[in-house]
Amino acid sequence: MSLKRIFDPRSIAVVGASANRTKRGHQILRALDESGYAGAVYAVNRGGGTILGQPVQTSVAELPEPVDLAVLCTPAATAPDLVRACGKRGVAGAVVLAVGFGESGSDGTRLETRLRDAGREHGVRIVGPNTSGLLNLPKGLNLIGARGVRSGGIALLVQSGNIALDLMTQVTEQSRMGISICCGLGNEVDVGFGEVLEYLGTHDETRVVIAHIEGCRDARALLHAAARVAPRKPVVVIKSGRTAAGAHAALSHTGAVAGPYDRLSAGLDQVGVTEVRRTDELLAVAQTLAAQPAGSAGSGVAILSDGGGQSTLAVDTLHEMGIPLVEPAPETSAALRDILGPAAAVGNPVDVAGAADADPGVFGRALEVLAADPAVGVVMVVGLFGGYAIRFSARLAESEAEAARSMTATMRTLGKGLVVHSQYALHGSAALDALREARVPVIGSLDVGCKAAAELCRRGVRLTRSARWRPEREPMRITTSSHHIITRARAERRETLDEMEARALLGEAGLAFPPTEVVRSADEAAAAAERAGCPVAIKLLSTRITHKTEAGGVILGVGTEHEARTAFERIAVSASAYARSRGLPEEDHAATVSPMLPPPVAELLVGACRDPHLGPVLTLGAGGIRVEVLRDVAHRVLPVDGREVEAAIGELKVSALLAGARGGRAVGLGAIVEAAEAVAESVMRWPDVAEVEINPLFVYEDRAVPVDARVVLRPPPQPIRR
């Protein structure tokens, strides 16, 4: 069913309507009347009578028509039966306000399951439970009880009533925009983020979406929707539960599943979503992206200021954000010098150096020159602009306002973005009013202004990248067939492949491993070492012990046959002790023998896992035994192409080594990309594969060699108990 009947209902039933002014069942009836809702509204309460002058139906079954939407203002325990009753009466959707479901413990989880089943069995779409309600101001739909909120182009998609209230207050007090739709998703028992975002993408009144996410039950559906919506309408997200402590709080608050944040964050970035981490950035960034052109790919930010201190802080902040700062062309700097005089700084930042104190119009003239530079995608004005008439003389007001109008006209003509930081943002000013009338963001916080300019610059890059992510719900290459190695492991009730099995499986996906021999005794180890040519590496081969180094199962640089015998025996003893200490069953001792490789330029980790909410995810990072300590990793939600893999490599700190830092050897990225694509292929080709890891991947100038491989299978499906 389309969500139109929920967000634009022709009729509404308020179930649990009340004459008590403090109850939601009363407040919603009053809010619908005050907001000008034009559809039919029915009050339902088993006590009957009248409320606010309208008759009350004693049950859902008595509704005179199959309404589009029911709002359940009743205790949690009543919700499943009421949803069934709604379904029997032909009600399309239900908003369940009550708390006491999955967020409250095991009993609540069982109740939530009953609610979900009731909706599915009877064809009723459910918003919530544990939701703050719905708002569609252009249609007068007010199931939140919001008062004094302007209608406009900002949609709010939230999991917290307080966050929604805070944003609506900010919009009312600080913005010339307004709210189109606000949807509190609560526990997402049915209607979820992805589906609502898809609807907002087609909603004519909505120009930008702000989303607050605690937990998302179907993150891949969210990415699927965002990949379609974000290129047309900016989507700005703040995620709570980013840390382990926060994720626990999110689980107890909404009952939603908070998946690993770093993977979700990477996926959001891939599909063009803008993420912020501070609540004071949400509205400023959203308004900026909605009102200003995004920076073109390859362009950067230029700063135009009237003071060195704040402009230097802006440079620092943007640099720390990884935003490219433009170096103006020589002819641009020369033209700025002619306008601003010898005292001005005409690089980046451009500092008017007092020239505006008597003539604020220089801002307009300087901006016209600076913004015309082809390398400039976004201009950020920093300092006193908008306050010259207040600080120096009222006679400057007209000149300052004219400069504001000139600036907006210039940027509109050039199709480039403008962000204004002003110390006078909270004061009345004709110049700032002129900027705001032209939909130029005026921001009082320097840090928030920098964030808005940064995200405007990044949006152009994101839109280019997001077009490369195919928004199917599941990667197309997943098949239902298995592999004989996987089949054998399943028959042996194993979820871990040994290294040779992993190598064979990954070899079919495109990875080329160095020659290796399996040995099962000290004598075999000595003979294999002689054939391989010492020195060699001898490593434990086990289906039970996957972290070989931790178990004393790796000995490198074995130089003679005698050392090979000793190495095998040491590994066997260490592995037995390790297995006993962890209650693992004993295995026949086995090891692999392979030639030692020359020292690489760098060691990388290339892995993939099947995230329960996002699907397959590729991970690249600094490898070796310190990978968990360094945590230098980048993630990409699959599928990806080679350019996206290269972008992920570029995010790593270790990428400086790959580029030949401090006179080191530079490497080509092609071999790393091929290895990553093979790992990605393996997790997408075989649905039984849960996790793949190549660690380390030895990287040389002309090749990349996988040294160790690990494959973990998904747990077998559990039989359904009835």
Over 80: is that where the pLDDT of 520 sits?
A: yes
The reported pLDDT for the residue numbered 246 is 56
* Mean pLDDT of all residues in 21-46: 96
Residue 218 lies in a domain: no
3-state secondary structure 537-591: EEEECCCCCCCCCCCCCEEEEECCHHHHHHHHHHHHHHHHHHHHHCCCCCCCCCE
pLDDT > 90 in the chain, percent: 82
The CATH number linked to 426 is: 3.40.50.261
- Same domain for 297 and 394, yes or no, is yes
Q: What is the pLDDT of residues 189-234, one digit of tens each?
A: 999 999 999 999 999 999 999 999 998 999 999 999 999 999 999 9
* Number of CB atoms found within 10 A of residue 347's CB: 15
Over 70: is that where the pLDDT of 542 sits?
A: yes
Residue 146 lies in a domain: no
Residue 493 lies in a domain: no
Domain boundary among 131, 164, 194: 131
Residue 680 lies in a domain: yes
* Mean pLDDT of all residues in 69-79: 97
Over 50: is that where the pLDDT of 254 sits?
A: no
The reported pLDDT for the residue numbered 586 is 83
- Same domain for 634 and 582, yes or no, is no
The CATH number linked to 524 is: 3.30.1490.20
- Same domain for 400 and 452, yes or no, is yes
The reported pLDDT for the residue numbered 657 is 86
* Mean pLDDT of all residues in 138-149: 93
Residue 123 lies in a domain: yes
Name the nearest CA neighbour of 185 among 165, 208, 215: 215
Domain boundary among 80, 110, 131: 131
* Highest averaged pLDDT of the listed ranges 124-133, 489-498, 621-630, 654-663: 124-133
Over 50: is that where the pLDDT of 424 sits?
A: yes
Over 80: is that where the pLDDT of 722 sits?
A: no
For the ranges 28-32, 109-113, 359-363, 468-472, the lowest mean pLDDT is seen at 468-472
631: tokens are: 């945590």
The answer to whether the CB of 144 falls within 8 A of the CB of 254 is no
- Same domain for 299 and 439, yes or no, is yes
Q: What is the pLDDT of residues 621-672, one digit of tens each?
A: 998 876 767 788 999 999 999 999 999 999 999 998 888 876 677 888 999 9
Helix (H, G, I), strand (E, B) or coil at 535: coil
The answer to whether the CB of 621 falls within 8 A of the CB of 635 is no
The reported pLDDT for the residue numbered 249 is 54
Per-residue pLDDT band at 471 (split at 50, 70, 90): low
- Same domain for 428 and 555, yes or no, is no
- Report the alpha-carbon distance of residue 334 to residue 372 in Å, rounded: 13
Q: Can you give the C-alpha Rg of the chain in angstroms?
A: 31
Q: Which amino acid is at 701?
A: E
* Mean pLDDT of all residues in 392-414: 95
The CATH number linked to 55 is: 3.40.50.720
- Same domain for 537 and 626, yes or no, is no
Over 90: is that where the pLDDT of 523 sits?
A: yes
The answer to whether the CB of 546 falls within 8 A of the CB of 497 is no
* Mean pLDDT of all residues in 456-474: 75
The reported pLDDT for the residue numbered 245 is 62
Residue 162 lies in a domain: no
- Same domain for 572 and 607, yes or no, is no
* Mean pLDDT of all residues in 98-126: 95
Over 50: is that where the pLDDT of 473 sits?
A: no
- Same domain for 589 and 606, yes or no, is no
Total number of domains constituting the chain: 4
The reported pLDDT for the residue numbered 597 is 95
- Same domain for 387 and 524, yes or no, is no
Residue 145 lies in a domain: no
- Same domain for 11 and 123, yes or no, is yes
Residue 550 lies in a domain: yes
- Same domain for 83 and 66, yes or no, is yes
- Same domain for 12 and 113, yes or no, is yes
Q: What is the pLDDT of residues 359-377, one digit of tens each?
A: 999 999 999 999 999 999 9
284: tokens are: 């400023």
Domain of 635, in residue numbers: 602-713
